[in-house]
Structure 1
Amino acid sequence: MTGAYHDTTDRTSYDVVVIGGGAGGLNAALVLARARRTVAVVDAGEPRNAPSAHMHSFLSRDGVPPLTVLETGRAEIARYGAVLIDGRVDQVEAGEKGGYVVHLAGGAALRARHVVLATGLRDELPDIPGLRALWGNDVLFCPYCHGYEVRDQPLVVLGVHPASPGQALLLRQWSHDIVYVPHSLPLTDEDRERLDARGIKVAEGPVSTLLTKDGRLHAVELAGGRTLECAAVFLFPRMTPNDAAFDGLGCERDEQGWLVTDRAGRTTRPGLWAVGNVVDPRAQAVTAAGMGAAAAFALNHDLVDEEVERDLAAHRAAAGNPSGTPAPVS
């Protein structure tokens, strides 16, 4: 992704700093910039869906390359005065006079009244030769994103996560030719029965390597030498939120370690917001974009409330009535 839009001013203080320039972060920035807020988006240019050739299930953007969508979004936020800073955030800390200080790698710092975390998550993949090079193209996770493109073709599902059997059952909607390989997680008797009832074959693993032909997946090779020809491999990766920047701020997390937010994206720390995959691993790009918009609406209202209270206090002080006590009636 090119870094076409940069902050070329000396500004270091903003109403809002958005960390992460994916669909969620850019849509939050777009709404806030149109609300005439000063907004900076800090982005390292490494979107989770970069390996994928096309984005799907995003109304009006179905089939468009993910990077094209992000480039369009960058241009749109720039049109309304939001700025893009190519870089990484090391840490967010509370400011001495309120708000937050966003420390960038390299030593620079930005001050913000509010911060939106939209940094997504990391997909931790099993260590299988040939797998990582195919991730996002012939090795897939989301049936709703890619199932239609491999419909009615032979598919292999790797058992690497407790949710893997359910992933195979879901994929049965797109193909009748599915083989489940319990790679690192043995099947329970109940799961084996459910797969059998849906006509999903089981081939005992583990997988030793993924075989390619002309750069595309050709087959899965099992440890015993057996090969399973297939058009795609589906697996359920271990997902970890990219939220280290908020460490030390005391935000509440759930039992799985994900940041807790309300429906608008507020964390339990006032002025800190989180949207997209960093709080919801199920969120597709279109979902993340909606979360970004919802957070921006609520965030702007919170800023207006803060400003009304500030202006009201100044108005009362100027009138000689700082407490706001009603004047006695004569």
Structure 2
Amino acid sequence: MLHDAIIIGGSYSGMAAALQLARARRQVLIVDAGQRRNRFTEHSHGFLTQDGAPPGAIAERAREQLLRYPTVTWIEGTVTAAALARDGFEVKLEAGERHGGRRLVLATGVADELPELPGLRERWGTSVFLCPYCDGYELAQGHLGVLATGEFWFHQAMLIPEWGRTTLFTNGIHHPNAEQRTALAARGVSIEETPVLAVVGRRARMELEDGRSIPLMGLFLVPRTRLASEVADGLGCALEQGPMGAFIRTDARKQTSVPGVFACGDASRAAGSVSLAVGDGAMAGTAVHQSLVFG
């Protein structure tokens, strides 16, 4: 069977794209590997009508609603490759199956790559966070930390005091210049330059190299990201470099540099959230449909 569109990735953006196509009565195949980026967190915030809901519950309800449309097919699996075919595209799954589609939507997401610091990974999404708009309010204006990583640490350190008293941990690697120190002081940010050995405790207590221990309500950092799938690279889609890592370049209608291939969600943005992913997917889905109509 030749589908009108194959969507690789069944998280928020992929389902939002599929919904637009399903409502146009188009044949849609979704292939989902089951690796939502926010699967580590207990609650999702900032998404209208769903503020505070478990992210898994949001995704499951969306899936249930989507599968009520008879033109939608869902496969749990991993796409290992995609290529141009006579009538559009062919995707190959890890299990060996092959499926064809006239259009392709990459909603494959990204994977976060955390610094190699003991205790970070175990607390990711529960007391160690990326997005203050998603998780800052619930920390009740407690003592917060920012771990300096990559090039975005200064921006984050300036932002976090909106949600509580803030300490910047330079970890002995990143050193604020005089102008940055003045700006941070004006925001009430304390600077701790002793290297961090580990993050421990129920929340995020910082164990320092000199033996001190600083308890926090929550810790923020900006991780590096990588595309969670190599399909875009295999198709030859152009990429852009953001402050966190590479993402798929798209135009305003979410089409990539490869005709007939669209991308949405975190894989096609420098940064994202559930709300932005859903909006991205809706745009991609309508654009795919209109490309099928108008060519």
Q: Normalised by the shorter chain, which TM-score bucket?
A: over 0.9
In 2, Cα distance between equivalents of 1:168 and 1:218: 17
**Equivalent residue, structure 2, for 1:259:** 248
**Equivalent residue, structure 2, for 1:146:** 135
Matched, 1:180 2:168: yes
**Equivalent residue, structure 1, for 2:98:** 109
In 2, Cα distance between equivalents of 1:77 and 1:100: 23
State the SS of the aligned residue for 1:247: helix
* Residues 159-198 of structure 1: pairs in structure 2 closer than 5 A: 159-175=148-164, 177-183=165-171, 184-198=173-187
In 1, Cα distance between equivalents of 2:230 and 2:258: 15
Matched, 1:250 2:241: no
TM-score by length of 2: 0.95
Is the contact between residue 237 and residue 258 of structure 2 (CA under 8 Å) also seen in structure 1?
Answer: yes
Is the contact between residue 118 and residue 274 of structure 1 (CA under 8 Å) also seen in structure 2?
Answer: yes
Is the contact between residue 157 and residue 234 of structure 1 (CA under 8 Å) also seen in structure 2?
Answer: yes
**Equivalent residue, structure 2, for 1:284:** 273
Alpha-carbon deviations, 1:271-312, whole Å to 9, x = none? Answer: 100001001132211111111111111111110124xxxxxx
Question: Size of the alignment, in residue pairs?
Answer: 290
* Residues 195-234 of structure 1: pairs in structure 2 closer than 5 A: 195-212=184-201, 216-234=202-220
Cα offset, 1:255, TM superposition: 4.6
Is the contact between residue 15 and residue 114 of structure 1 (CA under 8 Å) also seen in structure 2?
Answer: yes
State the SS of the aligned residue for 2:142: coil
State the SS of the aligned residue for 1:58: coil
Moved more, 194-203 or 63-72: 194-203
The higher-RCO structure (CA 8 Å, 6+ apart) is 2
Q: Which of 36, 60, 63 is the equivalent residue of 1:74?
A: 63
Cα offset, 1:147, TM superposition: 0.8
AA aligned to 2:166 is I
**Equivalent residue, structure 1, for 2:114:** 125
State the SS of the aligned residue for 1:165: helix
In 1, Cα distance between equivalents of 2:62 and 2:196: 40
In 1, Cα distance between equivalents of 2:238 and 2:231: 14
Matched, 1:87 2:73: no
Report which of the two has the higher share of strand: 2
State the SS of the aligned residue for 1:153: strand
Q: Which of 35, 43, 57 is the equivalent residue of 1:46?
A: 35
Is the contact between residue 121 and residue 240 of structure 1 (CA under 8 Å) also seen in structure 2?
Answer: yes
In 1, Cα distance between equivalents of 2:162 and 2:60: 34
In angstroms, what is the RMSD of aligned CA positions?
1.3
Percent of residue pairs identical: 38
Cα offset, 1:218, TM superposition: 4.8
State the SS of the aligned residue for 2:240: coil
Structure 1 unpaired stretches of 5+: 1-11, 307-330
Is the contact between residue 241 and residue 279 of structure 1 (CA under 8 Å) also seen in structure 2?
Answer: no
Structure 2 unpaired stretches of 5+: none
In 1, Cα distance between equivalents of 2:198 and 2:50: 34
Is the contact between residue 243 and residue 278 of structure 1 (CA under 8 Å) also seen in structure 2?
Answer: no
Is the contact between residue 239 and residue 281 of structure 1 (CA under 8 Å) also seen in structure 2?
Answer: no
State the SS of the aligned residue for 2:286: helix
In 2, Cα distance between equivalents of 1:205 and 1:63: 36
State the SS of the aligned residue for 2:234: coil
Moved more, 236-245 or 222-231: 236-245
